[in-house]
Amino acid sequence: MHGTGGLLGRDEERRRIAAVLGAARNHQGSALLVVGEPGIGKSSLLADAVADAASHVVRVDGYESESSMPYAAVQRMVGLLDDHLPAIPARQRQTLRVASGVADGPPPDKFLVGLGVLSLFAAAGTRRPVLCAVDDAHLLDPESLDVLAFVARRLRAESVALVVVGRADSGLEERLAGMPVLVVTGLAPEPAAAVLNRSASGPFTPTATAAIVRATAGNPLALTDLAADPLLRELVDLGLGPDPVPIGSHLEAHYLRRVMHTPAPVQRWLLLAAADSSGDVRLLAEAAPRFDVVTDDGDEAESAGLVTLRPGVRFRHPLVRSAVYGSAPAAHRRLAHRALATAAATLGMVEAEAWHASRAVTGVDPDVADRLDRAAALAARRGGSTSRASILARAAELTPPGPVRADRQVAAAEASLEAGAADVAQRLLEAVDDADLDPVARGRSISVRSAAAMFLADPDGVRSATAEHLRAADEFRGRDPGREQQELLAAFEMCLTAERLVAGTTLELVGRRLAQGAGDADGPTAVVLRGIAALVLEPYAHAVGPARAAFDVVVTLPDERIRRRGSLIASLGAYLWDEAGRGRGLDQARRAARRLGDLQQLDTLLWVSALGELSGGTVVQARKFDAGVREVRRAMGYDGENVVNAAVLAWTGAPGELVEAVSAGAHATGFGGVSSSAACALAVRELAGRDHEAARVRLHRYVVDEPFLQTSPLFLADHAEAAARSGHLDEAARSAAALAALAEANGSPWCRGVAERALALTHGDAEAHHRASIEALTGTEAVVELGRSHLVYGEWLRRARRRREAATQLQRALTTFERSGADVFVPRTTAELVAAGGAGVSMPADDGLGLTAQERTIARLAAAGRTNAEIATRLFISPNTVDYHLRKVFQRLGVTSRRQLADRLGAPGQPRT
């Protein structure tokens, strides 16, 4: 396939790969996924790239026998770059050691492993460009594939090129979503004909050449191998008749004939090699005498052109391996796997031993199943949920029917769910015989079913999730208190998700079960359960104390636990009207999720944080968190543009019809919390537009007719304003009084501020309440609420014909709205200001710096004193990318130091990201 000009007929493919290598040399990291059918020339293109690369080459191949060993490929990558490990952050270094199986520690999150590999590549690239060349990627373990996908999506300013090669139609493009793809197809007719006739002892006729090229679709390896096959020339009418040329079956038969022409011991050696795709020379050497073959048999197989032996054993073509393995009797294949399993045990290769042993048996085999169970435990310690799930599923197949099999099936479903494969988890549970489940296993099964339904957004599953988690808690009761408590917390969190759409139980039953769980336990979780139960069951004045105790416990949880409690922090913080504490707690949780590399939890935390900012914060910050959700989704390989927060849309001017449609879709799917938050945000927008009656009607349902726990009180002030301005003074007075009672009980300045504003609209001494509202809200993080209090007071002053004072309040309101991003209130405020005789001067909505969103975030973090490594960890990028953006920021802003940057940006504070 090589000519004087390199690979024949592959100029465009070589150009694409060269562009990736060239970008790395210019400090622009990039990646390319190369896919095609077997023998199409993918490996030749990779070899060509490696030969031409003036880079540090990190070569990693995929092996089927390692496909269920979590992070097996990552372990080899790290081993090739271990001299650069000291240059990356300690947490990432430890994560890579745990994932590689060389250190003990908590199972690492796959995204933190990905960040560690990204940092390791970046560190290696500071000396000279790095080319990570991965062949047979479709045989890599799924955890390593996830890491490669993460790295590919985050390459920015690193001297790193990542070229991944694998088979088409193997799922690689979906698994490595976001990576540019090069599809390698057959050679064009002219170069294909040249390859065929160059490899043949004599040229084929033009008609036969055209027929063979058509039949092979220009596959270079097929053309090369068939060119030397004398049987092909016996097809005298090749290409002349209407029948298709039998090349497909002929090629496999061609390889099988070549195998059969070798001596019997060589054929046995080939079967042993085919049974172990890892190509591990040590393992084959150890297994050979157990299968009655010797090392020299492998040398003879190489001489026959069927394999290469260095650096590892590789078959000439996948069809050679499949021909060898497929033509062997099943009993012989099992004997080969048995020899390899014994050899792996001798070498201490626990996972390889279990893998081969599982293929050496038929039916059930408790001993092999136990070995697989141990291998699954190793996978769990390395954070390999996907591999653990597949190992446990096979272990269950080999386990006799009964409780042990059922337990392993449930465990496999749990691992699948943890890996994000909710559909697989559901299928695994469908095979479980419920009669074999003990109560604890049954509770685990119920929990997984419910969580999978939530993950897949099954409407019935979302609505019934609260009841299902309560049912799981009942199974654990008296048997596993820890699991019982976790299920009770999950039940409450699912209740927050579905809100008014909860099915199969009631809020009162939820509260009673939470109280029961708290009464049977002690420790921090019992305090939290007690507080939540009070929130659900008790009058507000009685519940504030237990709720505060619960909140204080949650926000002091360690990283591993607080990252999973965003919904609790948000709900308890809102219930207590503690916007500052809520913000600090969510910030701690986000930091924990970033430190642990848990992007799935970070995604949830950012979403919850965005909603929280819309009640007791700023729209600017809500938009930042919403943008953070998109960035995290892209880092995980999802389409960030499909992330829609309807409440944020409503606050930021999206068409009402769009917001209504998103809300309706959420409602239909069972996500009542998303639907109600969108509806209430639309009501606020209607208030801003002076459509008071529409706002009153919309809010009346959620605040008066169907109140829900901690969310409805947040909109009492809005309801009071809408009711008062639309002539329903009795309704307004009741909402204002309810807010005042809440403020009296919780002592929150935020709550007191909005209560005073509501009272100002419904009581005689309006001015005193207006002033009290502004005084209470000044200094809180409820900035938009402060702006609204200035606005309402300014409107009252204007109507009292105190225009100069009104203009002062209205200007403050306008400035506050524009700085906080509450643009929906700007037209109303501007109109009032003009009517009051004010100038209506507005502040620019942007900061005027001309920076992109990512540049602005990096700049503010740097101004706040964060190092490049800390910023990189926070944003899931490499330090090189941070440095690249900071250099652009410094140049654009005309500064030369971080101190000057802080001065240029103003008082930096600690940015919340």
Q: Mention every residue, 6+ apart, whose C-beta is less than 8 A from residue 534.
A: 542, 543, 545, 546, 547
Checking if the pLDDT of 912 tops 80, the result is no
What are the residues facing 60 on neighbouring strands? 134
User: pLDDT tens, 706-722?
Assistant: 999 999 999 999 999 99
Checking if the pLDDT of 278 tops 80, the result is no
User: pLDDT tens, 42-100?
Assistant: 888 998 888 877 789 999 988 877 887 889 999 999 999 999 999 999 989 999 999 98
Strand boundaries in 195-320, DSSP class E: 307-308, 314-315
Q: What is the pLDDT of residue 764?
A: 80
Tell me the pLDDT of the chain averaged across its residues.
88
Tokens standing for 82? 């271990």
Q: What span, in angstroms and rounded, lies between the C-alpha atoms of 651 and 882?
A: 31
Q: What span, in angstroms and rounded, lies between the C-alpha atoms of 353 and 340?
A: 7
Lowest mean pLDDT among 316-325, 529-538, 699-708, 788-797: 316-325
Give me Rg for the CA atoms of the chain: 33
Residues in the chain: 913
Q: Which residue has the higher pLDDT, 755 or 104?
A: 755
User: pLDDT tens, 361-419?
Assistant: 988 999 999 989 988 888 888 888 888 888 898 899 999 999 999 999 999 999 888 88
* Model confidence band, residue 151 (pLDDT cutoffs 50, 70, 90): very high
Q: C-alpha angle with apex 608: 712 to 474, nearest 5 degrees?
A: 75
Backbone phi, psi, residue 187, to 5°: -65, 150
Nearest Cα to Cα of residue 493 among 239, 240, 671? 671
Q: What span, in angstroms and rounded, lies between the C-alpha atoms of 742 and 715?
A: 13
Peptide bond into 311 cis (omega under 30): yes
For 86, 143, 463, the CA distances from 122, given in Å and listed in that order, are: 13, 20, 46
Mean pLDDT of 455-471: 94
User: pLDDT tens, 777-802?
Assistant: 999 999 999 999 999 999 999 999 99
Q: What span, in angstroms and rounded, lies between the C-alpha atoms of 80 and 255?
A: 35
* Model confidence band, residue 163 (pLDDT cutoffs 50, 70, 90): very high
Q: What is the pLDDT of residue 843?
A: 37
Checking if the pLDDT of 809 tops 60, the result is yes
Q: Three-state SS for 59?
A: strand
Mean pLDDT of 481-503: 96
Residue entry with tokens 């795709």: 277
User: pLDDT tens, 551-581?
Assistant: 999 999 999 999 999 999 999 999 999 999 9
Task: Provide the phi-psi class of 214: left if phi over 0, else alpha when psi is between -120 and 50, else beta.
Answer: alpha
What are the residues facing 131 on neighbouring strands? 57, 161
Lowest mean pLDDT among 7-21, 41-55, 484-498, 684-698: 41-55
Q: What is the pLDDT of residue 457?
A: 86
Nearest Cα to Cα of residue 571 among 543, 594, 593? 543
* Model confidence band, residue 290 (pLDDT cutoffs 50, 70, 90): very high
Residues 310, 317 contacting (CB under 8 angstroms)? no
Q: Which residue has the higher pLDDT, 420 or 357?
A: 357
Q: What is the pLDDT of residue 858?
A: 86
Q: What span, in angstroms and rounded, lies between the C-alpha atoms of 321 and 114?
A: 32
Q: What is the pLDDT of residue 856?
A: 79
For 490-521, letters b (16+ CB in 10 Å) and e give bbbbbbbbbbbbbeebebeebbebbbbbbeeb
Q: What is the pLDDT of residue 250?
A: 60
Q: Name the helix (H) or strand (E) containing 112.
A: helix 110-124
Of the CA atoms within 13 Å of residue 183, those in its CB half-sphere come to: 5
Checking if the pLDDT of 903 tops 90, the result is no
Q: Mention every residue, 6+ apart, whose C-beta is less than 8 A from residue 648.
A: 610, 614, 619, 622, 623, 626, 681
Q: Which residue has the higher pLDDT, 728 or 1?
A: 728
Lowest mean pLDDT among 121-125, 257-261, 729-733: 257-261
Checking if the pLDDT of 277 tops 80, the result is no
End-to-end CA distance of the chain: 53
Checking if the pLDDT of 245 tops 50, the result is no
Lowest mean pLDDT among 134-148, 201-215, 524-538, 654-668: 201-215
Query: For a pLDDT cut of 90, what percent of the chain falls above it?
Result: 58
Residue 779's CB is within 10 A of a number of other CB atoms, namely 10
Q: Which residue has the higher pLDDT, 834 or 808?
A: 808
Q: Name the helix (H) or strand (E) containing 160.
A: strand 160-167
Checking if the pLDDT of 839 tops 70, the result is no
Nearest Cα to Cα of residue 505 among 466, 473, 537? 466
State the alpha helices, DSSP H only, in 689-825.
692-700, 716-725, 729-746, 749-760, 766-777, 783-799, 803-820
Residue 254's CB is within 10 A of a number of other CB atoms, namely 21
Mean pLDDT of 609-636: 91
User: pLDDT tens, 579-594?
Assistant: 999 999 999 999 999 8
Checking if the pLDDT of 161 tops 70, the result is yes
Q: What span, in angstroms and rounded, lies between the C-alpha atoms of 479 and 484?
A: 9
Q: What is the pLDDT of residue 241?
A: 38
Q: Three-state SS for 355?
A: helix
Query: For a pLDDT cut of 70, what percent of the chain falls above it?
Result: 93
Q: What is the pLDDT of residue 907?
A: 42
* Model confidence band, residue 900 (pLDDT cutoffs 50, 70, 90): confident
Q: What is the pLDDT of residue 236?
A: 39
Checking if the pLDDT of 342 tops 90, the result is yes
Q: What is the pLDDT of residue 157?
A: 87
Q: What span, in angstroms and rounded, lies between the C-alpha atoms of 874 and 516?
A: 40
* Model confidence band, residue 909 (pLDDT cutoffs 50, 70, 90): very low
Of the CA atoms within 13 Å of residue 802, those in its CB half-sphere come to: 12
Checking if the pLDDT of 641 tops 80, the result is no
Checking if the pLDDT of 202 tops 80, the result is no
Tokens standing for 395? 């272990």
